[in-house]
Amino acid sequence: MEYVNPEGLRLDGRRPMEMRQIRAEIGSVAKADGSALFEMGNTKVIAAVYGPREVQNRSQQISDKALVRCEYSMANFSTGDRMRKPKGDRRSTEISLVIRQTMEACIMTHLMPRSQIDIFVQVLQADGGTRSACINAATLALADAGIPLRDLVTSCSAGYLNSTPLLDLNYVEDSAGGPDVTVGFLPKLDKVTLLQMDSKLSIDLFENVMQLAIEGCKAVANYIREILLENTKQLEYRRGL
Amino acid sequence: MEIDRVDGRTENQLRPLACSRNILNRAHGSASWSQGDTKVLAAVYGPKAGVKKNENPEKACVEVIWKPKTGQIGKLEKEYEMIVKRTLQSICILTINPNTTTSVIVQVLNDDGSLLPCAINAACAALIDAGIPLKHLAVAICCCLADSGYVILDPTKLEEQKMKAFAYLVFPNLILSVLPEGSLKVVGEPMEHAIITSVTQGAMSVDDYLHCLDRGRAATAKMSAFLRKTLQPQISSDSSKAG
Amino acid sequence: MVGLSLGEKNFIQGGIAQDLRSDGRKRLTYRPVSVETGVIPQANGSARVRMGATDVISSVKAELGKPSSLQPDKGKVSIYVDCSPTAAPMFEGRGGDELSTDLSVALQCCLLGGKSGAGAGIDLSSLIVVEGKMCWGLYIDCLVVSSDGNLLDALGAAIKAALSNTGIPRVLVAAGASGDEQPEVDISDEEFLQFDTSDVPVIVTLTKVGRHYIVDATSEEESQMSSAVSISVNRKGHICGLTKRGGAGLDPSIVLDMISVAKHVSEQLMNKLDSEIAAAEAVEDDS
Amino acid sequence: MAGRRGTNPTTYSPSLKTQKTRSTIFKDDWVRPDGRGFQQCRPAFFRTSAVTAASGSAYAEFGNTKVIVSVFGPRESKKAMMYSDIGRLNCNVSYTTFATPVRAQGSDRKDFSSMLHKALEGAVILETFPKTTVDVFALVLESGGSDLPVVISCASLALADAGILMYDLVTSVSLSCLGKNLVIDPILEEESYQDGSLMITCMPSRYEVTQLTITGEWSTPKINEGMQLCLDACSKLANIMRSCLKEATTTSQE
Amino acid sequence: MGLPDASGDLSSEMEVDAFRRLFPLRFYERHLAESIRPDGRPLGRARDTTIALGAVASADGSALAKIGSTTMLAAVKMEVMTPSMESPDEGCIAIDFHMPPICSPIVRPGRPAEAAPVVSKQLSDTISSSGMINLKELSLVSGKAAWMAYLDIYCLDADGALFDAALLSAVAALFHLQIPAVSLNDDGKIVVSEEDGGKLEKEPVNKEKRKLTLRSIPFSLTCILHKNYILADPTSEEEAIMETLVTVVLDSSSQLISLYKPGGAVLAYTSAVQDCIALTRQRVWELQKILDEANSGMEVD
């Protein structure tokens, strides 16, 4: 199948280095301590953060840092085919773990000993890159909850199809079976905190693709920063400052 | 009476036995036991602190997890778990380590008949390897009864399917009893004549069953001698190290 | 879990007794309702309804299937509710299952009518393609994104909005199919059948706090309830379903009184919803 | 061995799926399949202490509907739950595989379990057993229509047998709307083609409704009529249950 | 056994109930020394046993069996399947044993009891070993259709000797089973023949209701071995205190179908095994009589 046509356009009309449109909204779950909605093209996720709060299960309490937990779930209507699958299948568990580890690395957990932070991400629509979208949404939600972070983690994926590195794969490109590199990136510290790849790729190509994904992360980071700034201004305005 | 066995054995002949112990590093005790092509691996973890579910302030708890070669755990595996568990409980001195749990994991490597007896032998060897205090050994064997009434020992899978009935029997074996005399002894019968476990399948007459008992009992003497022989040198080397 | 102090509890109860609730509403006033349709493009129809801080999404997916042999002239509709852990940490893992089942059952009872289909909001016979052979099955999936009380009313409204947003492809049946075989069909990409949702009832939940009952309770108010009655009423003013929550008993005469109040309130809610849905549809058409 | 079987093959029930013509019930001379009057309940039979292993139990038989309910506790809560100064009620309703005309696999009825819980929680004085749980487990041996009301009534009897304090017995009766007729205590066949249903759970001595469910389209006067019919039947049922309890105590005293 | 002296001293001052709870083993051993059990039975006597056939109207065959207060309800439902390639002329019987939460305080919903799959397996082994059912009788159309008999046994009240009661109810349900009259319809499906036969049925496969011919019926007795005592038909209290159980299954022609002793602290000597078998022989005779009585009671009605 041709994923990049001779004119250099992808199936959805993007150029290889082009990201899908991203959109974010802070405070979409009123009852949560922090929440955000994040869209990357048709992929749409909601993240909600509860905490820091008392540890629910005493045996899990950690005396010198906060306990970070994460649950990833997909709505029944999130994919093309309607499905009802039991909660906690392998894929969800794996993604929950990835998100938890990524976020835990950037939360300053030592400031909140003996407490618990819950991150819940809910996929409303899945069209490739749910992992990245969830991490971005979770970052926003954590920032909204006012939880001290080392840096804003952002994430983006990149792939390699038809001998072309592609940024931000959608579902069709993702399921083509080519390599798919997901990067989690700390923009201020200029460090990679998450790196995952399926399939195989030669080392030098891999570096290219990873670099592309990192560029994507930086773009997301800029957008997230803007959104947060805007949100803070709104808050100031409402407080009459 | 002439009996044709596919592998040319006589009716009382067992398949070649093999036993090796201490084969797993992380387990507290482990052993593999094979009878011909049937091979079972057993690992023992414990005694470890008892979990709330099977906590008992007076007795240690033995739990058995049966892992089939392939496929999922069904009713058969649950039943085998229960039989192995009860059999091991009967040979362990449970009052020595109260409120602890000892886990025995039985992994089937290959099944070519007499699976349950083979697993019990493996588990027993693994318990010895782990140094769990035992009252005596348990030696298990399978006796098969053919339509014509003759009995063969240690059948292969093919033979098991052809036979009218079979019995899995577990006998105790000990040199010196550590328990007070009289509490277990019945007048006129030595302890080796008793059975720990009996599971049968298929219809047979009572006399046939008693005949199976006799034949099985005779064969286990050989098996226990083998078991003791395999375990002995290592025990002495262990103690020399400790000494 | 709402943890309230004694003072807060008294404040809520006292406010309700004096017809002035904590957020300034009267006993029988709803919070502002906002409706957004077409939020899930993959679905045949979808809507997001917000009532104050309660936020739910409903989607309708239509699939062709075989009608049940007991009712060969009717299509199938099923409703499932899922409570996302984003709405409350207690819905984590299997924690939301119990509430999800309760809500699904209550919605089925309120919207799908009796066994024979009488009183159903959706005309099941309109879903039939070939009698006894092929019909549409509507799968209505709801997701609770944020929960601040009165989930059932919000879910009912979301389903109504999602159904008005639903377009079911027109199916052309190829001639010549007979006997056992499934008829060959041609599913149109362009032509869609719109639903007539004027018969879909609205659900009004009356929550009894103290001696009075209120509509559209927030979760703080729900924590003070003794019992709640959810009544689904259609445009004709007929009751299409009723369920009760909460353990405390009610005198039969109070139940009847609640029904008449619900009927009255339902008219306002119905009109408000209709105008919101129409506005949302207009917005979607523009974009 | 002959009993060798791997995965079970798919099977179907050979029973005739006759399409019941609903038209008959619109005729004036329609009679109920079991010949009862529209407002006549099936004969009810109750027996307490049906299960010795339980703290309290009851068996109920309404026509072909047969139900056993066991009550365990008050006992330690299963999960390490938060401290609570009132007790918990835990309900579960399941069906045997042969309860329904077509053999069913999934036997747990989550929806019925939660309905049973709602029906009982208002009547049980939870303050009398803080921190602990009372388990109410019901098994429908045979389903013959109006299963849930029978389960609820039977459960309240089992609670009484277990000596759990209650404000009142809980009784439950349902009715079906068939065309213009209201038939009380419907059997399975009637339930399958009903237009609407109404189920009331009440505490008869206190004259309070603890649970009410209506499906189908109803006008207000009809609801009125239906509720009254059910409430009357509930109080009759309560008398039967009460006499069953009295009988049990007198025989045990002897 | 741990503190024989302490309990011995206390026993004279303690109430019977308290003694029973604190030193259950001593309590039982005192009874056993007098050759009587706390419920008044001699050691070798089983509890009162009743069978009621046809307890479930919606099933094709059913029975309720009670041994003391252990209660089992078994029912058979017949469904149609396509027989396997290896045995085109044979039907199938699927046996399942359930322990619903109502039967015992140790079973909770969602977590099946540990004993349930074991008893289930034992039952299907026993019934297939005994050869009581000729699976060929369950055939309908060779290679096309055969009966699948679903035999489900529910434990309604668990008070010891679960296997004995379950087997008794299973056997009684199969005894009561009536295979419905069916015919082959146009679609190649098997349907129940209508009573009046007004429709043009293609061909009746099974013209009238019939019973299975049961070749030999297996009955069982579970005994507890404790020291030199043998206690027949234990209650759940006895099973909890004295853990060594022996289950003997004999059929009506005194063939040994199963001798089941899954471990246990007490060893079974040949003499004890023979004693158990002798007790079972007696019990088989009793049970056979009870089943016959239940059946004749049905026929009178």
Q: Which of E47, E56, E58 to mutate to test the interface with D (most CBs of D within 10 A)?
A: E58
- Does the pLDDT value for residue A9 go beyond 60? yes
Rounded Cα–Cα distance for residues A23 and E103 (Å): 57
Whether C154 has its CB under 8 Å from any CB of chain A: the answer is: no
Burial of A118 (0-12, 13-18, 19+ CB in 10 A): buried
Compute the mean pLDDT over every residue in chain D, rounded to the nearest whole number: 85
Rounded Cα–Cα distance for residues C63 and C43 (Å): 11
| Position A231 in a domain | yes
| Position E69 in a domain | yes
Q: Which pLDDT does position C287 carry in this prediction?
A: 65
B44 in Cβ contact with B21 (< 8 Å): no
Rounded Cα–Cα distance for residues E71 and D211 (Å): 33
Q: Give residue E172's pLDDT band: very low, low, confident or very high (50, 70, 90).
A: very high
Whether C90 has its CB under 8 Å from any CB of chain A: the answer is: no
* Window D:120-159, CB contacts with B under 8 Å: none
What ranges make up the beta strands (E) of chain C? 33-37, 45-51, 54-65, 76-83, 128-130, 134-146, 167-173, 185-194, 202-209, 212-215, 227-233, 239-245
Q: Which residues of D touch E192 (CB under 8 A)?
A: 14-16
Per-residue pLDDT tens over the stretch D136-147: 999 999 998 899
CATH of the domain at B82: 3.30.230.70
Q: Which pLDDT does position D199 carry in this prediction?
A: 93
> To the nearest whole angstrom, how far is the Cα of B81 from the nearest Cα of chain E?
9
User: Quick check: D15 and E192 CB within 8 A?
Assistant: yes
- The residue-averaged pLDDT of D201-220 equals 90
Give the structural domain span for E276: 40-177+212-300
How many CB atoms are located within 10 Å of the residue C272 CB? 16
- Does the pLDDT value for residue A137 go beyond 90? yes
Q: State percent of chain D over pLDDT 70.
A: 88
| Position E63 in a domain | yes
- The residue-averaged pLDDT of A86-105 equals 88
Amino acid at E222: T
Give the structural domain span for A172: 22-239
**D36-40, D98-102, E160-164, E185-189: range with lowest mean pLDDT:** E185-189
Q: Give residue E112's pLDDT band: very low, low, confident or very high (50, 70, 90).
A: confident
Q: Which pLDDT does position C197 carry in this prediction?
A: 81
D165 in Cβ contact with D76 (< 8 Å): no
Inter-chain Cβ pairs, chain B and chain D, closer than 8 A: 3
Rounded Cα–Cα distance for residues E66 and E46 (Å): 12
| Position B10 in a domain | no
* Window A:49-108, CB contacts with C under 8 Å: 50, 56, 71, 73, 75-77, 79-80, 82, 84, 87-88
- Contacts of residue B19, defined as CB under 8 A and 6 or more positions apart, other chains included, come to B31, B32, B33, B34, B121, B122, B125, B226, B227, B230
Question: First-to-last CA distance in chain D?
Answer: 54
| Position B133 in a domain | yes
Subunits close to B (at least 3 CB pairs below 8 A): D, E
Q: What is the domain count for chain B?
A: 1
| Position E138 in a domain | yes
* Window E:116-135, CB contacts with D under 8 Å: 124-125, 127-129, 131, 135
| Position A73 in a domain | yes
| Position A133 in a domain | yes
Per-residue pLDDT tens over the stretch D146-193: 999 999 999 999 999 999 999 999 999 999 988 888 899 999 888 888
Of D5, D51, D98, the CB nearest to E58: D98
Q: Which residues of E touch D9 (CB under 8 A)?
A: 81-82, 84, 92, 148
What ranges make up the beta strands (E) of B6-148? 17-21, 29-35, 38-49, 61-67, 100-110, 137-145
Strand arrangement of the beta sheet that strand A191-198 belongs to? A164-167, A154-161, A180-186, A191-198
Q: Which pLDDT does position D23 carry in this prediction?
A: 56
Subunits close to C (at least 3 CB pairs below 8 A): A, D
Q: State percent of chain D over pLDDT 90.
A: 49
> To the nearest whole angstrom, how far is the Cα of E179 from the nearest Cα of chain B?
27
| Position B186 in a domain | no
How many CB atoms are located within 10 Å of the residue D168 CB? 18
State how far the alpha carbon of A201 is from the alpha carbons of A1, A177, A183, E198, in Å.
19, 12, 15, 74
State how far the alpha carbon of E296 is from the alpha carbons of A167, D183, E177, in Å.
82, 39, 15
| Position C277 in a domain | yes
Give the structural domain span for C36: 12-286
| Position E31 in a domain | no
DSSP conformational letter for D180 = T
Whether E263 has its CB under 8 Å from any CB of chain B: the answer is: yes
Q: Which pLDDT does position C179 carry in this prediction?
A: 54
Question: First-to-last CA distance in chain C?
Answer: 40
Amino acid at A191: K
- Does the pLDDT value for residue D19 go beyond 50? no
Give the structural domain span for B211: 17-176+191-231
Q: What is the dihedral of CA C209, C210, C213, C217, to 10 degrees?
A: -20
Q: What is the domain count for chain E?
A: 1
Q: What is the domain count for chain C?
A: 1
Whether B195 has its CB under 8 Å from any CB of chain E: the answer is: yes
CATH of the domain at A38: 3.30.230.70
User: Quick check: D11 and E236 CB within 8 A?
Assistant: no
Whether D1 has its CB under 8 Å from any CB of chain B: the answer is: yes
Q: What is the domain count for chain A?
A: 1
- The residue-averaged pLDDT of A31-37 equals 93
CATH of the domain at E141: 3.30.230.70
The three-class DSSP label of residue B160 is helix
**CA-based nearest residue in chain C for residue D224:** C256
Of A29, A76, A79, the CB nearest to C87: A29
> To the nearest whole angstrom, how far is the Cα of B144 from the nearest Cα of chain E?
14
C57 in Cβ contact with C158 (< 8 Å): yes
Per-residue pLDDT tens over the stretch C175-232: 655 555 666 777 777 778 887 788 889 999 999 998 898 999 999 899 888 889 999 9
CA D66 to chain centre: 9
User: Quick check: D53 and E158 CB within 8 A?
Assistant: yes
Q: Which pLDDT does position E299 carry in this prediction?
A: 66
* Sign of the CA dihedral running E200, E201, E206, E210: negative
Q: Which pLDDT does position D171 carry in this prediction?
A: 95
Compute the mean pLDDT over every residue in chain C, rounded to the nearest whole number: 86
Subunits close to A (at least 3 CB pairs below 8 A): C
| Position E225 in a domain | yes
Rounded Cα–Cα distance for residues E244 and E227 (Å): 10
Q: Is A139 left (phi over 0), alpha (psi -120 to 50) or beta?
A: alpha
Q: To 5 degrees, how large is the angle CA C173–CA C178–CA C183?
A: 30
Per-residue pLDDT tens over the stretch B141-157: 999 988 887 888 899 98
Q: Which domains are delineated in chain D? A: 36-79+87-253 (3.30.230.70)
Q: Prior bond to E204 cis, omega within 30?
A: no
**CA-based nearest residue in chain A for residue C140:** A77
| Position A4 in a domain | no
* Sign of the CA dihedral running E41, E44, E47, E49: negative
Amino acid at B191: M
Q: Give residue E194's pLDDT band: very low, low, confident or very high (50, 70, 90).
A: low
| Position E83 in a domain | yes
User: Quick check: D17 and C70 CB within 8 A?
Assistant: yes
DSSP conformational letter for E54 = -
Of D5, D98, D135, the CB nearest to E92: D5
CATH of the domain at C263: 3.30.230.70
Burial of D37 (0-12, 13-18, 19+ CB in 10 A): exposed
Question: What does DSSP say about strands A34-40 and A22-26: parallel, antiparallel, or unpaired?
Answer: antiparallel
> To the nearest whole angstrom, how far is the Cα of D218 from the nearest Cα of chain E?
33
Q: Which pLDDT does position B241 carry in this prediction?
A: 42
B149 in Cβ contact with B121 (< 8 Å): no
> To the nearest whole angstrom, how far is the Cα of B130 from the nearest Cα of chain D?
35
How many CB atoms are located within 10 Å of the residue E39 CB? 12
- The residue-averaged pLDDT of D111-117 equals 90
Q: Which residues of E touch D14 (CB under 8 A)?
A: 78-80, 180, 182, 189-192
Q: Which residues of C touch A138 (CB under 8 A)?
A: none
Burial of E200 (0-12, 13-18, 19+ CB in 10 A): exposed
| Position C6 in a domain | no
